[in-house]
Amino acid sequence: MHLLVCGGTGCRASASDAIVGKLEKELEEKNLQDDVQVVMTGCFGFCEKGPIVKVLPDNTFYVQVKPDDAKSIVEEHVIKGRKVDKLLYRDPETSKEISDSKHMGFYKKQLRIALRNCGVINPESIDEAIARDAYAALAKVLGEMTPEQAIQEMINSGLRGRGGGGFPTGLKWKFAADNKADQKYVVCNADEGDPGAFMDRSILEGDPHSVIEAMAINGYCIGASKGLVYIRAEYPLAIERLKTAINHARDYGLLGENILGTNFSFDIEMRYGAGAFVCGEETALIHSMEGERGEPTFKPPFPAESGYLGKPTNVNNVETYANIPVIYLKGANWFNKIGTEKSKGTKVFALAGKINNVGLIEVPMGTTLREVIYEIGGGIKDGKKFKAVQTGGPSGGCLTEKHLDTPIDYDTLIASGSMMGSGGMIVMDEDDCMVSVARFYLDFTVEESCGKCSPCRIGNKRLYEQLDIICKGKGTLDDLDKLRNLSHVIKDTSLCGLGQTSPNPVLSTLDNFYHEYLEHVNDKKCRAGVCKDLMQYIIDNEQCVGCTACARVCPVGAISGERKGPHNIDQTICIKCGACIEKCKFSAISIQ
């Protein structure tokens, strides 16, 4: 028998260590230590009801366990085989006790559709993929559906583009199918560029066949015989595994001429990008594949009319493709029951930042930010206070406490001033300065702007400078108005999606954290202690014993004072590196 005690950070904070100790002690007293093992586990993802103890093999699930409950668990459950009723979870709707965690579907917030095979199959074995239904959807579509029917099925499923824009995938296919041409192309956009996002990489590294299969289906639907994967060269392992998978698929005849004995022929080639953010924009991506500069062009014409080499082209993102085989196998009606009214299915997020369980997660659309952060993510690191969550990368915005219970889907995120983006989700706590966060994203945009249109090239640079001035404590109220005006101009006049969304981090922080901007401008203060120019390191003369440790560690010699006498920091020399505060054993140095 095993007693599993949740050792996730949240449960640990509520004394799971003590529970382990008590359980072990009780078992020892009853001389059961050899028959029953107490094991500390990772997070169960049900932190609000923690600490959690699970009993194996019967799967009993105890919630909100206190160290003193160890006695009853051992005496009742372990020895007498009776479940401890008061510790069982009660279904909030029926208020019935649920004892077996196998029936606790409700605590499983995640549903893996796009990630169904990631971490399950060997990505370099096509046989293992086939055992898990790879290429069965392709066979079904080729054997049972006309391209029109297959497109209609995609429209019915309600799948929207997972790259960030959220355009209905079925409609996109229909446009490309409706344009007649001797040659058409299917392109997989694997140019994942948002800072902190790695959904697409994980899918390509974990389940490359799902993307290949979906591209072939896409080709059949729109009448294309050629597929291209545009992937950044910074993803060597993803490239290698995708190549292996393409070769295996060719060996089996699942790519190539007359696939599965039909008239349909399709093959895939790879194209490598040099890692320019703007190449995630579909027109820039296409130009980059053609060997041109990776710069966007005005739409229309959309790629569905004139794309790669001037031919009708359909571009979809990796995660979009990964969803597609399941939609055909289980049917559009299965898929469109998951999610919200206008956003169907699930979304993969790369959960990062000041959160306990950093990870790759997949949740049904409509899950709230609170569920993602506090249950799946296990809450904020070190018990600090939640401040904001950034979604949508450099094109998105920051959501705050008041958005925590908003269900996540394309439209609610836009209504809250952010966007879905490709799925980066960065959690920030009280130690993050929102002005600096905005400046960080603008720094990224300035670096990545292709420079073709002036609002983006010059405007973002000016935005960055303005933010920098504010962070350095030299901003005025006037600057805040300028920031807002300039942001709107850039949004309204930029050529492509990059410029049209790049001011979002500024606008959303201005909306949600205006008080922090005001503090920077009026009081010259940064409450998070991030903006170095607004801080001073001060030595408290009462506390300082004159050990000289700080003076010795100061790299610029800004600290002076007699041995055994109080020391002082010369603010004109201090570079605010923080070395002194780390060295001081007497807590005499503080930041003001």
Minimum CB distance to another protein smaller for 207 or for 432: 207
Per CB under 8 A, which of residues 46..105 are in contact with another protein? 54, 56, 105
Per CB under 8 A, which of residues 220..259 are in contact with another protein? 235, 237-238, 251-254
Strand blocks (E) in 433-584: 537-539, 559-560, 568-569
Question: Which residue in 435, 467, 461 sits closest to 448, CA to CA?
Answer: 461
Cβ at position 538, least distance to another protein in Å = 37
For residue 323, count other CB atoms closer than 10 A to its CB: 24
Minimum CB distance to another protein smaller for 136 or for 547: 136
- Residue 509: phi and psi, rounded to 5, are -75, -35
Q: Are 69 and 23 in contact (CB under 8 A)?
A: no
User: Between 156 and 195, how does the x/- string for binding to another protein read (CB under 8 A)?
Assistant: ----------------------------------------
Cβ at position 120, least distance to another protein in Å = 6
Q: Which two tokens stand for residue 156?
A: 């019915």
Minimum CB distance to another protein smaller for 322 or for 589: 322
Minimum CB distance to another protein smaller for 338 or for 581: 338
For residue 95, count other CB atoms closer than 10 A to its CB: 7
User: Between 374 and 403, how does the x/- string for binding to another protein read (CB under 8 A)?
Assistant: --x---------------------------
For residue 80, count other CB atoms closer than 10 A to its CB: 9
Q: Which two tokens stand for residue 543?
A: 């506390």
Q: Which residues contact 353 (CB under 8 A, 6 or more apart)?
A: 196, 389, 390, 425, 426, 427, 428
Report the alpha-carbon distance of residue 516 to residue 456 in Å, rounded.
26
Binding flag, residue 135, another protein (CB under 8 A): yes
Give the residue, chosen from 24, 75, 128, 267, that forms a contact with another protein under the rule CB under 8 A: 128
Give the residue, chosen from 17, 133, 267, 468, that forms a contact with another protein under the rule CB under 8 A: 133
Binding flag, residue 43, another protein (CB under 8 A): yes
Q: Where are the alpha helices (DSSP H) in 197-235?
A: 199-206, 208-222
Binding flag, residue 345, another protein (CB under 8 A): no
Per CB under 8 A, which of residues 21..40 are in contact with another protein? 37, 39-40
Per CB under 8 A, which of residues 94..113 are in contact with another protein? 105, 107-113
Task: Assign 3-class secondary structure to 385-432.
Answer: CEEEEEECHHHCEEEEHHHCCCECCHHHHHHCCCCCCCCEEEEEECCC
Cβ at position 298, least distance to another protein in Å = 36
- The residue written with tokens 């995120």 in the block is 413
Per CB under 8 A, which of residues 287..326 are in contact with another protein? 326
Per CB under 8 A, which of residues 511..540 are in contact with another protein? none
Binding flag, residue 131, another protein (CB under 8 A): yes
